[in-house]
Structure formats: C-alpha cells, structure tokens
C-alpha cells in the first residue's frame, strides 16, 4: 500500500515530529535496523503493540523481497536507529525497490546528524565533501585516508562510537596540521562541540565511546 520514510531523533527523543508520531501510530508494520532501538521508540511514544521487522547490514535479497511484498499490502513505516533512513543505512535499498515497483512513498523529514552538526559547528560550510563512514579494516581504511588527503575542501566524517579514538589517531597520522571540529552526542544533555588539532582532540577524547561527527578543515 505505502512506505513512509520517517526521520527519528538522533539523541533527544523529544525531537520527533508530530506528523511522524501520527504515521507511526497508523502503521501496520515498523521496519528498523535493530529491534531493541525500535521497541524503545515505540514504548516512548506509547504506540502500543506494533509488528516489527528488521532491515540492516545482515539482511539479504530474500529479506528485501519479503519487505517489499509487505509494502504492497500494508501501511509501512521505515525508521533507522537514529536520524534519516536511507542516509548511510540500508533503508535506501527498500526505497529503491519500492520506487521501482511503483509503491507510494512518503518522506517525513526530521533529525539529521549532518544538519545538526552544520548548524552548530560555527563555520559556514557552503561546500564540503561528505565521506561519512570510512572502512573499518585497516588496509582499506589507509587507502581511503590517502584519497581524502587529496581533497581540497572541508571533509565530513562520521563513524561508530567505538572507533572514535581510532579515527582521531588516524587524523593525527594523516592530517596533523588540519583544524578539526567535532561534535559528540548531538542533542543529548552531554552534547559537546570541540575544535583543535587532531592531537589536541585525541588527548581530550581518547578512550571514550561517543556518537560523533567531525569536519576536517
């Protein structure tokens, strides 16, 4: 019947839109990346019992075909663990399949770590290179970092919380003289914006596991 692509809060659960709540209430099925995260959102919004299916990095073509068929017969809401589905997550695969199948798609904009970072970093970045998540494996990571060194505009990177220290160590090795602006735990009470050299920020954040996004200037 339809697929609603719904942006969910990146930290503060109060940031979800009124229209998103109404669509989630009406949905026959909610598709998310992790059951625990979706269940937490459902409980916070007092949505009652909801059918949940998953679409994540472990999903295969059979899973995608099943979800596509569900979109043909049910009112579906697609969410990500946080932020906007389809942006650096597997939701794009389902959206693509639905568009190809002629299934109605509604986009409900909202929280975005990238937009929140750009709003709060204090730099006017009219143009930048968004790289997002660089590879986790050392050999591929090194190749990507070498490519990024050739780019002559601000670069935006993000990664999982447990690779915060690793990312800053990589910046020390490959961008030692660059100015870095980093934001951690955006929209939460513990939100921090910090700037400095890679070495200075490594000293500040080493060993911590925090949601983060940063710019190399």
> Is-same-fold flag (2-108; 113-216)?
no
Residue 76 in contact with residue 4, Cβ under 8 Å? yes
82-110: pLDDT as tens digits: 888 888 888 999 999 999 999 999 999 99
Instruction: Single out the residue of 64, 67, 65, 68 nearest to residue 52, CA to CA.
Output: 67
Domain residue limits, the chain: 2-108, 113-216
Q: Mind listing the pLDDT tens digit for each residue in 134-157?
A: 999 999 999 999 999 999 999 999
Alpha helices in the chain (DSSP H): 18-26, 35-44, 61-73, 91-101, 113-120, 138-148, 164-174, 198-205
Give residue 180's pLDDT.
Answer: 98
The pTM of the full predicted model, rounded to 2 decimals, is 0.87
The CATH fold of domain 2-108: Cobalt-precorrin-4 Transmethylase; domain 1 (3.40.1010)
For the stretch 176-185, pLDDT in tens is: 999 999 999 9
Q: Out of 3.30.950.10, 3.40.190.10, 3.30.750.24, 3.30.230.10, which CATH number does the structure's domain 113-216 have?
A: 3.30.950.10
Burial state string for 32-42 with b = 16 or more CB within 10 A and e = fewer than 16: bbeeeebeebb
Question: Which of 179, 191, 175 lies closest to 120 in space, CA to CA?
Answer: 191
Tell me the average pLDDT of the chain: 95
Q: What confidence score (pLDDT) does residue 35 get?
A: 95
Mean pLDDT of all residues in 208-217: 97
201 Cβ contact list (under 8 Å, min separation 6):
168, 171, 180, 182, 194, 195
- The pLDDT value recorded for residue 89 is 84
């Amino acid at each position: 019947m339809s697929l609603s692509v719904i942006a969910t809060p990146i930290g503060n659960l109060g940031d979800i839109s009124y229209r998103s709540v109404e669509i989630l209430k009406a949905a026959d099925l909610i598709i998310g990346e992790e059951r625990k995260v979706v269940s937490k959102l459902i409980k916070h919004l007092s949505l009652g019992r909801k059918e949940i299916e998953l679409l994540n990095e472990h999903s295969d073509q059979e899973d995608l075909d099943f979800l596509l068929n569900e979109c043909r017969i049910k009112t579906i809401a697609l969410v990500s663990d946080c932020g906007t589905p389809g942006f650096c997550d597997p939701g794009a695969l389902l959206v693509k399949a639905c568009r190809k199948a002629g299934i109605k798609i509604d986009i409900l904009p909202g929280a975005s770590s990238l937009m929140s970072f750009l709003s709060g970093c204090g730099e006017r970045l009219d143009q930048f290179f968004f790289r997002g998540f660089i590879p986790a494996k050392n050999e591929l990571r090194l190749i990507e970092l070498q490519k990024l060194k050739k780019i002559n505009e601000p670069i935006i990177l993000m990664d999982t919380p447990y690779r915060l220290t690793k990312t800053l160590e990589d910046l020390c090795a490959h961008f030692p003289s660059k100015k870095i602006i980093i934001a951690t735990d955006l929209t939460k009470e513990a939100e921090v914006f910090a700037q400095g050299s890679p070495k200075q920020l490594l000293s500040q954040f080493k060993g911590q596991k925090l949601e983060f996004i940063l710019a190399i200037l």
